[in-house]
Every structure is written in structure tokens, then in C-alpha cells.
Amino acid sequence: MSVTRVQSSERERCLGQIDKLVHSQVLHGSESLCKLLRYLAEHALDHPGSSLKEYQIATEVFGRPQDFDPQHDSTIRVQAGRLRLKLAEYYSTEGAGDSLVVEVPKGTYVVSFHDRVAGPAKPRLASWHEVEDRDLADGRGPRSGRVLPIALSVLLAVAVASIVFLLADGYAGRSRAARVSEPAPAAFSAFWKGYVTGPEESWVIFSNGAFVGRPETGMRYFDSARDSRDGILDHYTGVGEVLGVHALDRTFALLHRQIRVKRGSLLSLDDVKNNDMIFVGSPVENLTLREIPSTRDFVFRLRDSEPRKGDLEIVNVHPQSGEAESWIATASHIALTEDYSIIALERGLNPEKSVLILAGTTTLGTQAAVEFVCQQESLEKLLPRLAVSENGELKPFEAVLRIKVTRGVPVESDIVALRVGKP
């Protein structure tokens, strides 16, 4: 059913479908997306055939000021993109049997309604705890001007993805129930208490950098000075992030809990307000981290001067005696042997929720940070140095790790700086 001249019965049916979407699990907690969906739907029904401008949506839906400039603020495009992905997710999961389909075609802000075409059911791909993207790429982080190898990186990404999923116990022929029968070390229960005692599952948000180009012709990091945002390809992430998510999945399985995994570009601030979050990857690529409470003593920064201009470093905002003013990984033109990463527990936008940041200056540093909090030996070294609240949960802290890397594998991690009990 294409809505052009909307009769009252058709309008009722369309609005009923919008209500169903707004109250679905897929859109649960995404207040801004629900508000946008209702606005676009009512406009399409009340003014069939008329288009909407970004400025109108920004000022009427999101309360942006009258001087809003869509050329310099991509908020509406980003929100519309997230809404399209949520709609696609809904109709491939809980809405698979719905007869009426709601869409927001790319390139427009006009909602369309149409009846689902009957046909053979499509086979559903197996999911891995709601991982929303399996595209992978091997990279060492944002290095200025570096072009990713084409065929090799694609083949390596496929190989890594295959290895990770085959090694995951559930995909190697053993049931998940067999895995969670292993007793969780006491250090796991102590460190992760705040993430496993609530009624809702925790969210793991992995970074996926903004690239331009295509794997078959060559890819590089997006450069705002010369590239259009329309050309961004954000379907790739580092091997460290992939292996980190696998480590978190196994740790939470030992604690008899599940996690929800999502790529950073699909995350909304509504999601952050309503859930405990674990961010895998630095703010340079996990862009939502720039909009929420983050680290204060140890911060990521791209060097803006020589030497090493454009490389990512960790800045020590308030150096203490014997500490370095900043930390940076091995130079990009030689084999990586040393990296640095941050482990930080902070309060979220909602103070009742927690944000755990696990991020390195390269993808291998990120992997090491995740593994550090997923291994009994390292947690037993860290926990005595942290502070605990009256209810037994950890107080906020920030730590910097030095990581030794051998042949592309993080082999040893040590804490080189620590701040504990921050408000």
C-alpha cells in the first residue's frame, strides 16, 4: 500500500504500525529516534507527496536554534541513518511477520508505507549475541595518509573473522551451556559486579573507523578537508576490537550473563542513557565517546606537530612524580613493539549507569586493554589498587597500560599510571 491519498482507515492502520514500532524492543530506549519516526510518519500522512528539509526537522523535532546550518551539522542525517538501520533490524527480527512495512528511503526524509510482498521466507543468518556488523579490517589506528593494503587486508579480515567465530565455543561444536558451567574466578565477580547485577544486559560498543574508498580499489581514513561525508564506508574495524569482543563474550558467559554488541556508528545518546556501556576502542574511532563523560586525567590526542605528527598519543593531564607527560606507540614506519592503552571506569550520562573504556593507541593496544580486564592474573593485580563503594561496586578510576607486542600479538601489559576514586 503506497500512501498517497490517505483514507481514515488507512491512516489508522499506518499510525498503528508506527505505535508498534515505537514500542518494539528494537527502538526501546531510543527516544529521539521514536520522536523522529512519529514526526516523519505524521507529516507523510498529513501532507502526502511533500518533502521535508533538514532545517525543518532540526528545529521542530530536535529543538535546534533558528541559525541551524545543515551544511555544518550532520545531526539530522546521522539520526535518519540510524532510524533506517533500526527499521531494517525490526523487520528482520520481531517484525518479520508484520504485513505493513514502514521505510524511510535513503536520500529523503519522507516515510513510505507498503504491504509486505508475500514470498518464501529468507533464511536468517546466525547471530553472535546481536553483533550488528561482522565486517572487519586489520589496521593499526589512525595514521595520517596511510593507505590500507587492498587484497591482503580483505583476506586477513576474512581469515580473522573465521578464526574468531570458529574458536568461539558455541561455534566450535560445544554448547554455550558447557562454557558457562566453568566457575568464574572471584576476581571476575569483584571487577564486573556493576555490570552483571542489574536486570538489563550490558552493551559492548566497538569502534569502526571512517574510511573512504572500497576494498577492491583501495581504502584510507576519511579526511574532512578533502572528502565528502557521503563517501564514508564505516563497515570495518581492527582485529584487536574483534578479539576484544570475543574475550568479553567469554568473560560474561562465565558470569552467566549475556552482552549486546553494537558498532559505534549506530549508537545513540538515548542508548547511552539507558544502559551500562563498555566501549572498545578510542574516541578517535569510537566517536560517541566524544559526547559522553570520558577520561579526565589520561586523554587521547592526535599529535599536531612534528615529530610523529598525526599519530595518536595518550596525554597525562596532571603528571605525578616519575610519570611521563605522554605515551605513544612505536612509530608507524617500523614494526610495532610497544603500545599504550587506557582502562577507565566512569559514570555515564545517567549517573546510575557506568561507562567502561578499553582503548589503545592502536588496535593491538585495544585488544590488550580488554584482555587485561578479562584475565584472572591481571585483575588480581589491579583490584587491590582500586576503591570500592559501600555496595561493593568499583569507584571510578583511570589507568594507563604499557603493552609489549611481538609479531603482531600483545604479550605483556603493565600499569604505568593510575588515578583512583574520581567523582
Q: What is the pLDDT of residue 180?
A: 47
Task: Give the position of cell 572528502.
Answer: 227
Is 404 inside any structural domain? yes
Same domain, 177 and 103: no
Confidence bin at 275 (pLDDT 50/70/90):
confident
Same domain, 227 and 314: yes
pLDDT tens sequence across 79-102: 888 898 889 889 988 898 899 999
Task: Give the position of cell 580483505.
Answer: 154
Neighbours of 340 (CB within 10 A): 27
Is 133 inside any structural domain? no
Is 142 inside any structural domain? no
**Is the whole model's pTM more than 0.85, yes or no?**
no
How far is the C-alpha of 358 from the C-alpha of 399, rounded, in Å? 10
Is 96 inside any structural domain? yes
Domain boundaries, position 47? 8-115
Same domain, 358 and 256: yes
pLDDT tens sequence across 185-202: 899 999 999 999 888 889
Same domain, 357 and 300: yes
Same domain, 230 and 307: yes
C-alpha cell at 333: 614506519
Same domain, 88 and 157: no
How far is the C-alpha of 282 from the C-alpha of 277, rounded, in Å? 14
Is 345 inside any structural domain? yes
How far is the C-alpha of 39 from the C-alpha of 78, rounded, in Å? 16
How far is the C-alpha of 348 from the C-alpha of 356, rounded, in Å? 9
Same domain, 258 and 331: yes
Same domain, 209 and 110: no
Number of domains in the chain: 2
Same domain, 312 and 404: yes
**In the predicted model, what is the mean pLDDT of residues 121-146?**
38
Same domain, 155 and 106: no
Same domain, 247 and 181: yes
Same domain, 314 and 182: yes
How far is the C-alpha of 82 from the C-alpha of 30, rounded, in Å? 10
Asked if 91 and 80 count as a contact pair (C-beta separation under 8 A), the reply is no
Contacts from 25-28 at CB under 8 Å and sequence distance 24+?
25/94, 26/86, 26/89, 26/90, 26/93, 26/94, 26/95, 27/86, 27/90
Asked if 283 and 210 count as a contact pair (C-beta separation under 8 A), the reply is no
How far is the C-alpha of 161 from the C-alpha of 154, rounded, in Å? 11
Is 120 inside any structural domain? no
